[in-house]
A and B are shown apart, each in its own frame.
Chain A
């Protein structure tokens, strides 16, 4: 797989993301207007509302060129979501459970100085600041992100393979899993004052999953530093797993022998498993995972096994019952 090395911010001028965003806002209104028209309620914009089809950037009227995001696609050819989409629709329960409110609440959150403590079963425990982490490299990785809530985006991350950091701290042979812990700061993170979840956010990977080349620590987005709502200053990205595995705003990484218990496993063990691999065949206990809505698209699309990364990662789960190990 090859990834474009040019920062995306240089390819797509910001006003283009924004105009696409405006179009998408209107599209929702048109869809509802069409719906109401069918119920005998006069539609707001008359006849144009009768066609709610949103065929993406190509059908955009007016100022936006036919393919505003040309060159910025995932390896399947699907265009990246816009900066606004990625930064204004976030699950970050430390702030709020309202996805559209996170950006506003996260504004101004101090991410400097920031330390990431890496330890546990390693020969060379170390504490990194963000500049240290950037020395592991900065490359663009355009990944699909599939949320367990059945929506998805294509996101141009900037980051480096987690394997590089893990090699630097020299895991001991006893280490079998990696445990990640996010920032704990109830004074500034109102969601953490609620007792519904056991804070801080914790996630885990098997060591071979963590060492896989697709697994990255991201420090940037669209060639810019990661905004807080997307998990600044450093977050995990594991593209073949549901989004909640990709823990944000990491402060601690430990190599451990036992399988870590993640926040979601603790909250609902029968619904959110340790592996959480994207899998259309294995439904969530209460909803199906067969299809998803790509943000910005009108029609649902089928969910792909391992989120489309089966070729690269399926071997990690050979001989495993993925229904049991959900």
Chain B
């Protein structure tokens, strides 16, 4: 399958890239066509922020998908999803600091002291910066064990993003709560005991299919 495409681009990976770029393309299209509201900066802020949140959640869904369903190949898109999340977060940050506040640091400082959710979102963005920089294979090699430790910072970043998303709502927080619930599930699956339970369950199934009568084989697989 993969061999038919250069650079080992599979249809699955292509679909993920297209889906991740879709919000940006749609945003540019809507700006081009004049489909944004009369408050376009706010539209851009909301849409880039939402895309960043969704893609960060998607990148955090990769490991749980592997744990629960054993679909190893989704691993291949994890870095791309994380980098796309960072791209949208960066556009979101630029929209706020540049388009909205024109780099007026005095104004931004005044507003930040009264808007806790801005600080929370900014903290999440700051966390994502080193993760994006060290996302390459080279950095992975150089940092060795510490790479994994560093990249576990994506969990607090995800939590901060959800807090940011909840706090920015006027009153109705049903949608952010759905996403927060999803993130919570994705984090729970990673807990060692939960993870073990899913892995064992999966291995038992595989073993049962291969050799339904042999218990010893099942044990070695575990």
Are A286 and B117 in contact, with the CB atoms below 8 A? yes
Q: Judge whether B174 and A28 touch: CB under 8 Å.
A: no
Cβ of B167 and Cβ of A286 under 8 Å apart? yes
Q: A84-B38, A293-B41 are in contact. List 17 more A-B contacts (CB 8 A).
A: A28-B40, A28-B43, A29-B34, A29-B40, A31-B99, A32-B27, A35-B94, A81-B38, A97-B172, A99-B37, A148-B170, A196-B172, A264-B171, A286-B115, A290-B111, A295-B39, A300-B100
Specify which chain B residues have a CB less than 8 angstroms from the CB of A149 in the assembled complex. 170
Least CB separation from A30: chain B residue: B31
B97-133: CB near A (< 8 Å → 1, else 0) gives 0111110100100110111110000000000000000
CA of A289 to CA of B174, assembled, Å: 25
Q: How far is the CB of B174 from chain A (nearest CB, A)?
A: 7
B99 in contact with A44 (CB, 8 Å): no
**Are A39 and B90 touching (Cβ within 8 A)?**
yes
Classify chain B: how many residues form its interface, as a range. 35 or more
Q: How long is the Cα–Cα vector from A307 to B91 in the complex, in angstroms?
A: 32
**Which positions 273-326 of chain A face chain B at CB distance < 8 Å?**
283, 286-291, 293, 295-296, 299-300
Interface mask (A76-88 → B, CB under 8 Å = 1, otherwise 0): 0000010011001
- A268 at interface, CB cutoff 8 A: yes
- B107 adjacent to A35 (CB under 8 Å): no
Contact A291 to B107, CB < 8 A, known contacts A25-B36, A196-B174: yes
Residues of chain A contacted by B90 (CB below 8 angstroms): 39
Residues in B with CB closer than 8 Å to A295 are: 38-39
Q: Is the interface of B mostly helix, strand, loop or mixed?
A: helix
Interface pair B28/A44, CB less than 8 Å apart = yes
Residues A88 and B114 in contact, CB atoms below 8 Å apart: no
CA distance A28 to B117 in the complex (A): 25
Q: Identify whether the interface residues of A are mostly helix, strand, loop, or mixed.
A: loop
Residues in B neighbouring A24, C-beta threshold 8 A: 38, 40
On chain B, the residues within 8 Å of A300 by CB distance are: 100-102, 104, 107
Docked complex Cα distance between A304 and B74 (Å): 53
B10 located at the interface, meaning its Cβ lies under 8 Å from any Cβ of chain A in the complex = no
Q: How many residues of chain A have a CB within 8 Å of chain B? A: 46
Instruction: Report B-chain residues with C-beta under 8 Å of the C-beta of A70.
Output: none
Partner of A100, one of B32, B37, B91: B37
Contact between B114 and A85, CB atoms less than 8 A apart: no
Q: Contact check: which of A35, A89, A99, A100 meets B98 at CB < 8 Å?
A: A35
Instruction: Judge if B44 is at the interface, Cβ distance under 8 Å.
Output: yes
A26 contacts which chain B residues (CB < 8 A)?
34
Q: Which of the residues B27, B94, B171 comes within 8 Å of A38, measured between beta carbons?
A: B94
A267 at the binding interface (Cβ < 8 Å): yes
CB of A284, distance to nearest CB on chain B (Å): 8
The answer to whether B42 has its CB under 8 Å from any CB of chain A is yes
B43: chain A residues within 8 A (beta carbon): 28
B95 close to A (CB within 8 Å):
yes
Give the residue of A22, A35, A97, A287 whose beta carbon is less than 8 angstroms from that of B114. Answer: A287
Counting chain B CB atoms within 10 Å of each CB, the highest count among A29, A38, A39 belongs to A29
Q: Is the CB of B172 within 8 A of A89?
A: no
| Residues in A whose Cβ lies below 8 Å from that of B107 | 290-291, 300
Asked if A268 and B39 sit within 8 Å, CB to CB, the answer is no
Could you tell me if A88 and B37 are in contact, using CB atoms closer than 8 angstroms?
Answer: yes
- By a CB distance below 8 angstroms, the chain A residues around B168 are 286-287
| Whole-angstrom distance between the Cβ of B114 and the nearest chain A Cβ | 4
